[in-house]
Chain A
Amino acid sequence: MKRFFALFLTLVLAIGVLAACGPQNNENASSNGGGSDSEGDDANKPEKLVVWEDTDKGIALEPAIASFEEEYGIKVEFKELGMADEIREQIRLDGPAGTGPDVITLPHDQIGQAAVEGLISPIEVEQSVVDTFTESSIQAENFDGKLYGLPKATETPVFIYNKELMDKAPETMDEVYDFAKDYTKDKQYGFLALWDNFYFANAVLAGYGGYVFDRTDEGLNPQDLGLNNEGAVEGTQYIQKWYEEGLFPKGLIGENGGSTMDGLFNEGKAASVMNGPWSFQGYKDAGIDIGVAPMPKLPNGENFKTFIGVKGWHVSNFSENKEWATKLVEWLTNEENAKIRYEKTAEIPPVKSLIEDPVIADNEGASAVAVQSQYGVPMPNIPEMAEVWEPAASALQLVATNKQEPKAALDEATKTIKSQIEQNHSN
């Protein structure tokens, strides 16, 4: 009897497997057909284009869309999504399903990853269009030798001070240092910066001659790290000085440093800080009369090479109307619409002609960011950058807490980054 059952079960299983194998070719064939159908009608004008915009920024998009609709007769719809990760996660799913957008916005440091994953496609625009943007912002939009989008806004850390505690922005860091030496006592601080966070610290390291990845004509070279070169070590020594002499409190180190620093500045306990334009509003809301300036010059006479973050417009790889989507991207970033964006959202477009325009030049905050952007370097946008943040931050923290000397810490970090890149990005 047992044997009988065993036989039956085998039979059943076999039938199951056979049944599964059979029609699979049909399925293959049918959806092959479906795929090619939908690719046919391309050159024609689409009825509408869909745009995914950053949250709360749609207000700057509306006028641009209206004029685009008028000009080309193509309807444009937009939806607001969180830019940091929501847009990327969502398009991963909606893209293949065919319900995705034609144009999306991304921070430029995600470009590499998005391109590797095939979420966005390279675009082709006239050189004259490219030339209207600042060089660094176009660099930021380039990956693997191809242009992947046009920049819509840029941001970079600047020097922010409390006008009640500091008369005017100093010219050099030596002045800041002297001021801080004098001013810092009893939980009052002359100047604060999150220099255990690589995003901010790199400005110092790079100012002294360090770099993350070497930039060649073909783009960034992930094999050539400049995090432990002489300049980087010197920069780290400078950072070390601020911590060692107690000008930066120990409580500023670590994960929650950002909120600690904001808190101190908001309560008038810090005379000046290094922070990005995203913090302006919060400081003003806290009732601080802030002044904003480009970062003062480093002791070696160089400027801070702050990381520039560029938000760009990109064409979705899943779009069926890439040409028109590219047109829309050009439209959204042209001078007129860039200016509207600035006026509506205070985001600073890296359009050359606008930086000199009085609307920006006369605004202290905006012009400080614009000027500082000229000294800065775009954050690396290749996927290998993901391996840099943690080890680099560890090294800085070890230096800040006096556990390791700059050279040794940076050497370790470089070693870790190299082996991580080798393991995770060797394909």
Chain B
Amino acid sequence: MEATERQTKHRKTALALSIIPGFGQFYNKQILKGLMFFILTVSFAVAFADLINIGLWGIVTLGEKLPRDHSIFLLTQGIIAVLVILIGLVIYFLNLRDAYLNGRNRDLGIPLNSVKEQYRNVTDQGFPYLMLSPGFFLLIFVVIFPILFVILLSFTNYDLYHSPPANLVDWVGIQNYIDIFKLDIWRDTFLDVFSWTIVWTFVATTGQIAIGIFLAVLMNQKDLKFKGIFRTIFILPWAVPAFVSILVFAGMFNETFGAINNDILAAFGIDAIPWLTEPFWTKVALILIQFWLGFPFIFAMVTGVLQSIPDELYEAATVDGANIWQKFRGITLPMVLFAIAPILITQYTFNFNNFNVIYLFNGGGPAVSGQTAGSTDILISWIYKLTFTSAQYGKAAAITMILSAIVIGVALWQFRRTKSFQEEDMM
């Protein structure tokens, strides 16, 4: 009875003392560890006090007085402050947990680890974290931070008339989202742009994948010669920076002076095609260009996969009397799709957001009457037009959030359907 009482005491006392980090460890007689926690906490507090202070105040108010306060800087500092606090909380939680666990061990009469054992423990269990932390840290700032920024921005009125340094930005709740659905132009144009975005994403991506797989299968034939040279050529479009190729294509597709109309089509006796002024032909041109740009990556991936498919499978199929097509349908395609499915999904989302090719080829044109979007604008390039011409950053962020919800939703759904992501071992 007395023993249980003592047990309860240790873990609770250690935990309680750990409200000031380190003291629980002192109580557990782990002086060194306690000292480390304590020093860590103190230096954390000293180093970040200002940042957290200004940051939290800033993110709540977005500035109060001009010209001292710059709302966007304050928002940024606020996000950093929140991130820093989260890191601090993790350390604090570890401190509490450590004190509690060691206190419980004492209660249960288990001898505590010596300093040396503690060190071993840390390096053993901490090793993966050690390996991950530099990359994770970078990801927080390069991936997470901008996303938080956009999310928060979508709830502000940041635009030309509310922009630092002359004016303060304010929180406006979901006003931007409401506005978007009230805008006439948004409503009118949205369906057109959205349906083309879907067609574009689906046709361009599927096409580049099909071409990539087709060529990879062709090249994988054993009795084919000059494979090295051909493979090199096939990878060339990848080696030339995309923006260079797109701009060159824009020149080549010029209706009056471009090589396509003048040299190629003329050679076949076909009349000049209005590549840049007729929506239909511009769309065709864009899709063809994306095939050209996109297939080498798939080609390289699939070539890799094909080489890992064991020959026995094909031999067995041949014995069973399968023809080439049956072998392709029955063996090659399923194997390939299984292996690279996640990559394929990223290809679709990449094209969904493929701003460069649309913007550089023809600026989203040709024009459509009474719309703010051109006939080949996809959602992302339309957002760019809507916002960067009139500095509607808050609305841009809101539209981005809506788009993101769509993209992430579809991607998640697809990823879940993909077998290779379901295996526990995969992720």
Contact = CB atoms under 8 A, between A and B. Distances in A.
A252 B256 CA distance: 8
A250 B277 contact: yes
Interface string A368-390: 00000000000000010011011
Interface in B287-336: none
Interface in B248-273: 250-251, 254-258, 272
A118 B166 contact: yes
A23 B53 contact: yes
A16 B163 CA distance: 31
A21 B54 CA distance: 10
Given A419-B184, A424-B160, A397 B57 contact: no
A19 B122 CA distance: 32
Contact of A254 (B53, B89, B276, B368): B276
A356 B419 CA distance: 80
Contact of B389 (A117, A253, A386, A427): A386
A3 interface: no
Interface in B151-167: 159-167
A409 interface: yes
Given A117-B160, A397-B367, A420-B372, A249 B362 contact: no
A27 B160 CA distance: 29
B254 A251 contact: yes
Interface string A104-117: 00000000010011
A260 B254 contact: yes
Interface string B391-418: 1100000000000000000000000000
A255 B85 contact: no
B222 interface: no
B256 to A, nearest CB: 3
B39 to A, nearest CB: 19
B365 A255 contact: yes
Nearest to A11: B19
Given A8-B96, A27-B57, A28-B64, A317 B366 contact: no
B165 A92 contact: yes
A249 B89 CA distance: 67
A412 B367 CA distance: 12
A221 interface: no
A250 B389 contact: no
Nearest to B361: A255
A390 B185 CA distance: 14
Given A32-B65, A420-B390, A20 B277 contact: no
A184 interface: no
Contacts of B184: 419
Interface in B22-58: 49, 52-54, 56-57
A31 interface: yes
B81 to A, nearest CB: 8
Contact of B68 (A21, A35, A391): A35
Contact of A389 (B56, B165, B389): B389
A387 B392 CA distance: 12
Interface residues of B, number: 60
Contact of B160 (A255, A383, A409, A415): A383
B207 interface: no
A96 B367 CA distance: 40
B370 interface: yes
B129 to A, nearest CB: 22
B283 interface: no
Interface in A1-47: 4-5, 8-9, 11-12, 16, 19-21, 23-24, 27-28, 31-32, 35
B342 interface: no
B392 A424 contact: yes
A390 B165 CA distance: 28
Nearest to B59: A20
B10 interface: no
Given A27-B54, A251-B255, A253-B276, A409 B369 contact: yes
A317 B166 contact: yes
Contacts of B390: 383, 386-387, 420, 424-425
Interface of A is mostly: helix
A117 B165 contact: yes
Contact of A117 (B96, B166, B254, B367): B166
A292 interface: no
Contact of A255 (B89, B256, B362): B362
A4 B13 CA distance: 12
B183 interface: yes
Point out which of B53, B162, B251 has the most chain A C-beta atoms below 10 A from its C-beta: B53
Contact of A256 (B64, B89, B254, B368): B254
A231 interface: no
A419 B256 CA distance: 36
B363 interface: yes
A318 B363 contact: no
B366 A401 contact: yes
Given A250-B274, A386-B390, A12 B68 contact: no
A27 B54 CA distance: 8
Contacts of B67: 35, 96, 118, 318
B53 A424 contact: no
A423 interface: yes
Contact of B159 (A252, A387, A416, A424): A424
A250 B92 contact: no
A20 B166 contact: no
A35 B272 CA distance: 67
Interface string B166-182: 11000000000001000
Interface string A393-427: 11101100101100011001101100110011101
Given A5-B96, A118-B165, 4 more contacts: A119-B165, A250-B274, A390-B389, A398-B367
* The 6 nearest A-B residue pairs measured at CB: A118-B166, A251-B256, A394-B367, A249-B256, A20-B56, A412-B370
24 contacts: A12-B89, A20-B53, A21-B56, A23-B49, A23-B53, A27-B54, A32-B65, A92-B164, A117-B163, A117-B165, A118-B166, A118-B167, A249-B256, A250-B256, A251-B255, A251-B258, A253-B276, A254-B365, A256-B251, A393-B367, A394-B367, A419-B185, A420-B390, A424-B159
Interface of B: 12, 15, 19, 49, 52-54, 56-57, 64-65, 67-68, 70, 85, 89, 92-93, 96, 159-167, 179, 183-185, 250-251, 254-258, 272, 274, 276-278, 362-363, 365-372, 374, 385, 389-392
Interface of A: 4-5, 8-9, 11-12, 16, 19-21, 23-24, 27-28, 31-32, 35, 92, 95-96, 113, 116-119, 187, 249-256, 260, 263-264, 317-318, 383, 386-387, 389-391, 393-395, 397-398, 401, 403-404, 408-409, 412-413, 415-416, 419-420, 423-425, 427
